[in-house]
Amino acid sequence: MMIPKEQLGGEDVRRVVEQTLREPLNLAVDGYKCDTGAVVNVLVKAAIERQTIESVGDDVRLAVSSNTVREHLNAVLDGYDLREHECEMNAGLAGNIAKALPRRGREMALDLPDEPFYGKPLALRTYACRGAAKEGTTYFYRVATLYVIWRAVRVTLAMTYVLPEDSNLSVVQRLLQRMQPLGCRPGVVYMDQEFCEGPIVRYLTTAHLPAILACTVRGDTGGTRALCRGRKSYCTDYTFTDGTPARLALIPARVPDKTGRRRVKWLVFVVIHLDWSAKKVAQRYRRRFGIESTYRQLDPLRARTTSRNPALRFFLLGLAFLLLNIWVMLPWLATRLIALGPARWREDAFRLFRFIAFLRRAIERAIGTSDTIPIYSW
């Protein structure tokens, strides 16, 4: 990622984004009126304004219609080549990781962000995963992500598209295997309750990967609920019903209920290859909750679509993560303070809203905008 030495402007940000999308994502569009630059600008503008490609096509001055742009995208993005597109997206994410970011002993986290899907066609539902009812649907387009956590920077290292036939173990294996080309070795990996399964615990134990997995409290009187006794945090050995042995950390947390009174709620974690106390496990796992704020920041960078092309739907999800990665790394490269000690930067110099404003203005200057609509007379 190349940035100017004196100042960072909107056109510089636009060029960085366009270069990132051109090279690894293979968006090669070679038409006599529509080229790759125009398609990239339309996609980015749709993402930062949370609009569809059709809406952006009506707002900017393009030599072609929005239907032509969508036809070019459908020709480049094919659902049968979904894994190939996934590799290209991961190459784009890897290209936006600063060389100064340490690769060994860092805290990492896995999660499964969902995009609600309301469509009816069976061809599209075959790519959507089922889940608990949320936002009026039980179908979701799902992406699994691997984050690295270092100081105030959270960067997406890899992502994978999750299909209904994928098991959680295969998802974990794909993400962790993508750490090797980047030279990353986690100090600890945080995982949510969806990943707390016997096969995943055995895989992490065999691979000697330190990890903390949130575990659901199960059972009425037996199971892990039987261990939720006493008033102090503690660690103990436990064997799940499928025969998987594990080390558990149990913490009685006090959380407010609906009436505002604080009541005891037990937190259970599976601890793998870590000699930590139960309190330290809970304190370190709380660092993972910063990822949830990152997912809230995804919403202003996610384009909307009603396309029947599943590859395009997954691509727009990946584009949001890629734009967020670029925004995270630009302040790290451009606003670092000249001072002794650990590297620091001005966190207030380039907020997300300003990144979006820079891109919007630069794209509108580059391709122009349309301020009129036709009036038809009878």
Please identify which residue in the block is written with the tokens 């004196």. 6
Task: Give the whole-number percent of the chain exceeding pLDDT 70.
Answer: 92
Burial class (CB in 10 A: 0-12, 13-18, 19+), 38: buried
pLDDT tens across 221-233, in order?
A: 888 899 988 889 9
312 closest CA partner among 324, 301, 303, 325: 303
Per the structure, the count of domains in the chain is 1
Greatest mean pLDDT among 52-56, 247-251, 253-257, 313-317: 247-251
Sign of CA dihedral 350, 302, 83, 208: positive
d(CA 328, CA 153): 7
In a domain, 69, yes or no: yes
Structure tokens at 36: 């790759």
Burial class (CB in 10 A: 0-12, 13-18, 19+), 176: buried
Please list, in sequence order, all residues whose beta carbon lies within 8 angstroms of the beta carbon of residue 237, skipping any fewer than 6 positions away.
245, 246, 247, 248
d(CA 81, CA 203): 28
In a domain, 109, yes or no: no
In a domain, 345, yes or no: yes
User: Which range marks the domain in which residue 47 is found?
Assistant: 10-79+307-367
pLDDT tens across 20-34, in order?
A: 887 766 676 666 667
How many whole angstroms from its chain centre is CA 281? 24
Q: Would you state the pLDDT for residue 309?
A: 87
Range with lowest mean pLDDT among 27-31, 62-66, 79-83, 97-101: 27-31
Cβ(186)–Cβ(104) under 8 Å?
A: no
Q: Would you state the pLDDT for residue 151?
A: 64
d(CA 313, CA 350): 29
Kindly report the pTM of this predicted structure: 0.86
In a domain, 104, yes or no: no
In a domain, 343, yes or no: yes
In a domain, 236, yes or no: no
Q: Would you state the pLDDT for residue 105?
A: 83
pLDDT tens across 86-139, in order?
A: 888 888 888 887 777 778 888 889 988 888 888 888 888 888 899 889 888 999
pLDDT tens across 167-181, in order?
A: 999 999 999 998 888
Q: Would you state the pLDDT for residue 281?
A: 93
HSE, CB side, 13 Å, CA atoms: give it for residue 188.
Answer: 22
In a domain, 201, yes or no: no
Cβ(162)–Cβ(129) under 8 Å?
A: yes
In a domain, 264, yes or no: no
DSSP character string of 284-340:
HHGGGGHHHHHHHHHGGG------S-HHHHHHHHHHHHHHHHHHHHHHHHHSB---S
DSSP character string of 245-284:
EEEEEEEEEEEE-TTS-EEEEEEEEEEES----HHHHHHH
Mean pLDDT of the region 342-359 = 82
d(CA 205, CA 132): 29
